[in-house]
Structure formats: C-alpha cells, structure tokens
C-alpha cells in the first residue's frame, strides 16, 4: 500500500505544477454561463493569490467587471505517452479585482510577472492593461487516480485528501 501524502508533499507537487505550466484557463461568467480564456499567470506567496495582466478590451475582463467570481484551472500538458485521466490539475476558485498601481505589492507583483513573461513589458505601458488580483478561497488539486486533495484559504498549507462518498445500495 502506498504511503499517504502529507500536506507538504502536496504543496511540493502544487509548486512543481505551477512552475512547469505558465498558462491557465480563466473561467468567468458571461450571461450566467461559464466562459474560458487562456491566460498567463503568476502566484503570490501561495496558491491563495494569483495575478493576471489583462486588457480592459478583452471579454474576460468585461465579465470580471460584471461578476468578479472566477476559477483558474491549471493542468499538466497531455502527450501520447500520458494517461489523460491521470494528468495533474488544479482548480482554484475565488474573486478577482484590479490591483491598484498604488498598492504596496504592485511593484513586486509587476516585477514577478515580467520575470516570468518578459515579452509582456511593452503591454505594461498600454493604458487598457492592468494587473488583476485573484483572491482564491478554495482549491481542488488532482495528482492522479485516487489522489485528489482540497484546501481552503483559511488553512492554505493544509491539503486534505478528498473522500468520495459512494452511493449505498438501494433497498426497495
């Protein structure tokens, strides 16, 4: 029997995934329906804050202005040698808001973003682009079959193995 993963093990797996995969799917709400966009991202000190550099002209930004609820989905790339059902993936849920250039963390976040995406430097000079902060409250992280973990922003370093309730046999 495999040894149970600790929260530290899961945290290391999360860190590896988000280091390897630089883009995510940003899910916003459009007319009460989910809408996905492909976006580059950086994280703050943990999974509870993510940052995006978005154009006000994009549909996803218009959606965020109308409804700040958001999900950020990051997945390991598929390949012919991989089992697509066992790919590592994380779904993060929360709310988004523009990060003011006057915010104490703005310079650090901008520097972190440009360090990961140097080609975005020119866009920081465009008036329609802004950094957005995703304040994430819940995480669902799948490392493979039977390896699903959940965490919340109140205890972000604590990853709990997701227990699946099996339906009991019906007795008629």
Taking the alpha carbons at both ends of the chain, their separation in whole angstroms is 37
Range of the domain at 128: 7-161
What is the reported pLDDT for 167?
61
What is the reported pLDDT for 32?
87
In a domain, 27, yes or no: yes
Q: Are strands 69-75 and 129-142 parallel, antiparallel or unpaired?
A: unpaired
pTM of the predicted structure, to 2 decimals: 0.90
Digit-coded pLDDT (tens) for 34-66: 999 999 999 998 999 999 999 999 999 999 999
In a domain, 170, yes or no: no
In a domain, 168, yes or no: no
What is the reported pLDDT for 4?
83
What stretches of the chain adopt beta strand conformation (E)? 23-30, 33-40, 42-43, 49-55, 69-75, 89-98, 129-142, 148-152, 160-161
Phi-psi region of 148 (alpha: psi -120 to 50; beta: other; left: phi over 0): beta
Q: Which residues of the chain carry a pLDDT beneath 50?
A: 1
What is the reported pLDDT for 56?
94
Q: Tell me the CATH number at 84.
A: 2.30.110.10
In a domain, 1, yes or no: no
């Amino acid at each position: 029997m495999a040894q149970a993963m600790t929260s530290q093990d899961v945290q290391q797996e999360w860190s590896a995934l988000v280091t390897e995969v630089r883009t995510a799917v940003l899910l916003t709400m459009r007319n009460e329906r989910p809408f996905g966009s492909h976006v580059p991202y950086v994280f703050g000190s943990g999974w509870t804050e993510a940052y995006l550099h978005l154009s006000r002209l994009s549909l996803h930004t218009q959606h965020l202005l109308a409804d700040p609820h958001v999900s950020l989905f990051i997945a390991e790339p598929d390949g012919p040698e991989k089992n697509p059902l066992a790919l590592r993936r994380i779904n993060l849920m929360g709310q988004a808001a523009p990060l003011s250039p006057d915010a104490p963390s703005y310079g650090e976040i901008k520097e972190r973003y440009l360090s990961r995406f140097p080609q975005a430097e020119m866009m920081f000079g465009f008036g329609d682009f802004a950094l957005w902060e995703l304040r994430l409250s819940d995480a669902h992280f799948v490392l493979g079959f039977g390896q699903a973990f959940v965490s919340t922003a109140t205890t972000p370093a604590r990853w709990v193995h997701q227990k699946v309730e099996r339906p009991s046999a019906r007795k008629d």
